């Protein structure tokens, strides 16, 4: 099927973006997995956990900020990968950035963000309330809000991963990508479907927090219950009217839902078999592959490891268990 104009436009924007951000991001390695697989089955790990700031988010942040006037005051809300990436990007582009954080944010995360010279606002309540406060300040006209996913240029930045993959491997049958707000899967998916239309995009969704998967099923954004998940980088809802949803609906060929047990198993297997310690959101994509491995035999498969910024107190007890 020929990709829609929207998908082709986003893929073209990723080409432009790659030139724009190439001096500030690294081409992350695409590693052949050590795991023993049957027949001619191939598995590769696209290791964005080695990227600057420890995740893919720096691509989208730079893509957005490098297109904005330097005198524009910027604001966002995230104590995780997006906040760190925006802080790094703002230091690179010389923008003034403010990050709104919940007042109970850990000292280590606060220290990481402020180390880039970023201003912070500690807001009462949880991360959702911090985001609402950041948006309200942006709506007042004093700031430009930087979304972690609901933005064409952010998606184009994430799409540069797809361009790298197509250069690193002569053929790809399946790419497994963790799903949060949809910016990552929409960006990479648009590039892959435009330049390698036979390649399948497999979305990995955490059962405990799967708003995008649920929205794809019904064709519009819906709210779902959110429970704690090891893939906390993918947790949360999807903005009403998000630009990611229609693209995700088009480019994703299959969604695989994973339990917390699936994600924990993937974390252990990556640590013990591949010698890679990653965050839960990265293990989610690997969990989708190993939970349905028999469906992808005799194929060339890529797992996108989206990041390696993990809470040691959460990950260590899991990977230290005997690998079974």
Both 50 and 77 in one domain: the answer is: no
CB neighbours (10 Å) of residue 138? 18
Q: Give the rounded distance of the alpha carbon of 179 from its chain centre.
A: 7
The answer as to whether 211 is a domain residue is yes
Same domain, 292 and 305: yes
Q: At what angle do helices 81-93 and 57-65 cross, to 10 degrees?
A: 40
- For the stretch 282-323, pLDDT in tens is 999 999 999 999 999 999 999 999 999 988 889 999 999 865
Last residue of a domain, one of 91, 118, 145: 145
50 in the same domain as 66? no
Residue 230 inside a domain? The answer is yes
How far, in Å, CA of 56 to CA of 40, rounded?
30
- Domain contains 102: yes
pLDDT at 1: 80
What is the tally of structural domains in the chain?
2
Instruction: Name the average pLDDT for the chain.
Output: 94
- pTM > 0.75: yes or no: yes
- 156 and 95 inside one domain: no
What pLDDT shows up at residue 259?
98
Give the other-Cβ count within 10 Å of 231's Cβ: 31
Which of 125, 145, 165 is the last residue in one of the domains?
A: 145
> Do the Cβ atoms of 274 and 243 come closer than 8 Å?
no
Q: In angstroms, what CA-CA distances link 150 with 65, 98, 115, 156, 272? A: 14, 19, 26, 11, 36
43, 45, 46, 48: CA torsion to nearest 10: 170
Residue closest to 253 by CA, chosen among 199, 290, 181, 209: 199
Tens-place pLDDT, residues 6-47: 999 999 999 999 999 999 999 999 999 999 999 999 999 999
CATH code of the domain in which 141 resides? 3.40.50.1100
CB burial readout 166-192, b (16+ within 10 A) else e? beebeebbbbbbbbbbbbbbbbbbbbb
The residue ranges of the chain whose pLDDT is under 70 are 322-324
What pLDDT score was predicted for residue 245? 97
CA dihedral 187, 189, 190, 191 (to 10 degrees): 90
Same domain assignment for residues 182 and 170: yes
Q: Is residue 324 part of a domain?
A: no
Adjacent-strand bridge partners of 51:
none
Domain-embedded: residue 269:
yes
Q: What is the 3-state secondary structure (H, E, C) of the chain?
A: CCCCHHHHHHHHHHHHHHHHHCCCCCCCCEEECCCCCCCCCEEEEEEHHHCHHHECHHHHHHHHHCCCCCCCEEEECCCCHHHHHHHHHHHHHCCEEEEEEECCCCHHHHHHHHCCCCEEEEECCCHHHHHHHHHHHHHCCCCEECCCCCCHHHHHHHHHHHHHHHHHCCCCCEEEEECCCCHHHHHHHHHHHHHCCCCEEEEEEECCCCHHHHHHHHCCCCCCCCCCCCCHHHCCCCCCCCCHHHHHHHHCCEEEEECHHHHHHHHHHHHHHCCCCCCHHHHHHHHHHHHCHHHHCCCEEEEEECECCCCHHHHHHHHCCCCC
Q: Are residues 106 and 159 in the same domain?
A: no
Q: Measuring CA to CA, how many Å separate 129 from each of 78, 134, 136, 138, 232?
A: 11, 9, 10, 14, 17
What is the distance between the alpha carbons of residues 187 and 251, in angstroms, rounded to a whole number? Answer: 9
Q: Are residues 137 and 175 in the same domain?
A: no
**262/232 same-domain check:** yes
| CA trace torsion 237, 240, 245, 249 (10° rounding) | 90
Strand partners, 20: none
Q: Are residues 177 and 221 in the same domain?
A: yes
Same domain membership, residue 287 and residue 247? yes
Domain residues for 29? 5-55+151-319
- For residue 103, what pLDDT is reported? 84
**Domain identity same for 98 and 171:** no
Q: Please state, in angstroms and rounded to a whole number, the distance separating the CA atoms of residues 275 and 26.
A: 21
Q: Give yes or no: residues 44 and 65 share one domain.
A: no
Last residue of a domain, one of 116, 145, 174: 145
């Amino acid at each position: 099927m020929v990709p829609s104009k929207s998908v082709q436009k986003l893929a073209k924007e990723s080409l432009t973006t790659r030139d724009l951000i190439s001096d500030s991001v690294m081409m992350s390695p695409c590693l052949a997995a050590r795991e023993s697989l049957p027949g001619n089955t191939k598995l590769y790990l696209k290791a964005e956990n080695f990227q600057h700031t420890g995740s893919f988010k720096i691509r989208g942040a730079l893509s957005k900020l490098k297109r904005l006037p330097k005198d524009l005051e910027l604001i966002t809300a995230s104590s995780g990968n997006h906040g760190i990436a925006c802080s790094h990007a703002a230091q690179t582009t010389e923008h003034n950035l403010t990050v709104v954080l919940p007042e109970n944010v850990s000292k280590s995360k606060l220290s990481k963000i402020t180390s880039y010279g970023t201003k912070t606002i500690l807001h009462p309540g949880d991360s959702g309330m911090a985001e609402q406060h950041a948006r309200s300040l942006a709506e007042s006209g004093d700031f430009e809000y930087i979304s972690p996913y609901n933005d064409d240029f952010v998606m184009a930045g994430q799409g540069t991963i797809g361009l790298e993959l197509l250069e690193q491997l002569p053929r790809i049958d399946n790419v497994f990508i963790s799903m949060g707000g949809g910016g990552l899967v929409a960006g990479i998916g648009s590039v892959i479907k435009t330049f390698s239309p036979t390649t399948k995009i497999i979305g990995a969704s955490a059962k405990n927090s799967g708003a995008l998967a649920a929205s794809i099923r019904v064709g519009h954004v819906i709210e779902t219950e959110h429970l704690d998940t090891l893939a906390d980088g993918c947790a949360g809802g999807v903005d009403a009217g998000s630009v990611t949803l229609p693209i995700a609906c088009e480019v994703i060929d299959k969604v695989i839902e994973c339990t917390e047990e699936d994600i924990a198993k993937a974390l252990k297997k990556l640590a013990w078999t591949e010698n890679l310690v990653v965050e839960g959101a990265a293990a989610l994509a690997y969990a989708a592959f190993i939970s349905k491995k028999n469906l992808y035999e005799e194929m060339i498969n890529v797992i996108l490891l989206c990041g390696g910024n993990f809470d040691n107190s959460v990950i260590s007890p899991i990977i230290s268990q005997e690998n079974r």
